[in-house]
Chain A
Amino acid sequence: AQSVTQLGSHVSVSEGALVLLRCNYSSSVPPYLFWYVQYPNQGLQLLLKYTSAATLVKGINGFEAEFKKSETSFHLTKPSAHMSDAAEYFCAAGEGPGRDGNKLVFGAGTILRVKS
């Protein structure tokens, strides 16, 4: 079974600094990978997704992630943090097209704090 590990339950950065949120997956077959963002007391919103095309994926709000098969990683980055980026971020993996293609496994989440 797939699993997703997010390193660091809390990450704190200064406004304008680099954001790096780590995600590793375990799967014998490269899965589809996703990053979602959640603001307090709200649902999740898709930031970006990797579906076996380009390994560097650009998403909304200036975020991007790079799929590295050799490291089984899909870390999320943003060059310059903004106060509005403060939220909880979830990495997720799915098996791709098929009957259960949309059945995602989520990581435990990383809360990003942005200091002024």
Chain B
Amino acid sequence: DGGITQSPKYLFRKEGQNVTLSCEQNLNHDAMYWYRQDPGQGLRLIYYSQIVNDFQKGDIAEGYSVSREKKESFPLTVTSAQKNPTAFYLCASSPRGMAGELFFGEGSRLTVL
């Protein structure tokens, strides 16, 4: 079945450690996105990529990094510079020509201990 796979679903990290969240899609979509979700704040855009080897910062990119070496993959690294990393992270993709129609993964919940 086509879809977006995020892993791990749950992750615990000690302060000062970097962690990488995986996002893979087999929908052949061009664009991919990372959102952060906090209770009562909706979704905020971290990074997005419209094509391979290109990505742009979203509204809250500080303390995060991404890469887009393959069309199918868009991993997100939460670095130790991110001051408040505990959150629910959602990856999404969208096909060319369907403005705003995002397909989401099931999310990764990161807890910093």
Give the interface of A toward B (CB within 8 A).
4, 9, 32, 34, 36, 41-46, 49, 51, 90, 92, 94-99, 101-104, 106-109
Determine if B107 is an interface residue (Cβ-Cβ < 8 Å): yes
**Which one of A95, A97, A108 contacts B42 once the chains associate, using CB atoms below 8 Å?**
A108
Which residues of the other chain, A, contact B92 by a CB distance below 8 angstroms? Answer: 43-44
Instruction: Let me know if B100 and A32 touch, CB within 8 A.
Output: yes
Q: How many A-B residue pairs have CB under 8 A?
A: 73
Query: Which residues of B from 72 to 113 have beta carbons under 8 Å from A?
Result: 90, 92, 94, 97-107, 109
Determine if B34 is an interface residue (Cβ-Cβ < 8 Å): no
Instruction: Please measure, in the bound complex, the distance between the C-alpha atom of A92 and the C-alpha atom of B97, giving whole angstroms.
Output: 18
Instruction: Let me know if B106 and A102 touch, CB within 8 A.
Output: no
Give, as a whole number of angstroms, the nearest-CB distance from A96 to chain B: 5
- A-B pairs with beta carbons under 8 Å apart, 18 shown: A32-B99, A32-B100, A41-B109, A43-B106, A44-B43, A44-B90, A44-B102, A44-B104, A45-B104, A46-B101, A92-B43, A94-B99, A96-B99, A96-B100, A102-B33, A102-B99, A104-B45, A104-B102
Determine if B2 is an interface residue (Cβ-Cβ < 8 Å): no
Instruction: Let me know if B42 and A107 touch, CB within 8 A.
Output: yes
Instruction: Let me know if B50 and A104 touch, CB within 8 A.
Output: no
* Known contacts A90-B42, A103-B48, A108-B41; A43/B90 CB under 8 A: yes
Give the interface of B toward A (CB within 8 A).
4, 31, 33, 35, 40-45, 48, 50, 58, 90, 92, 94, 97-107, 109
**Which one of B50, B58, B97 contacts A97 once the chains associate, using CB atoms below 8 Å?**
B97
Give, as a whole number of angstroms, the nearest-CB distance from B69 to chain A: 21
- Give me 9 other A-B pairs in contact (C-beta within 8 A), A90-B42, A106-B43 excluded: A43-B107, A44-B90, A46-B101, A95-B99, A97-B99, A102-B31, A104-B45, A108-B40, A108-B42
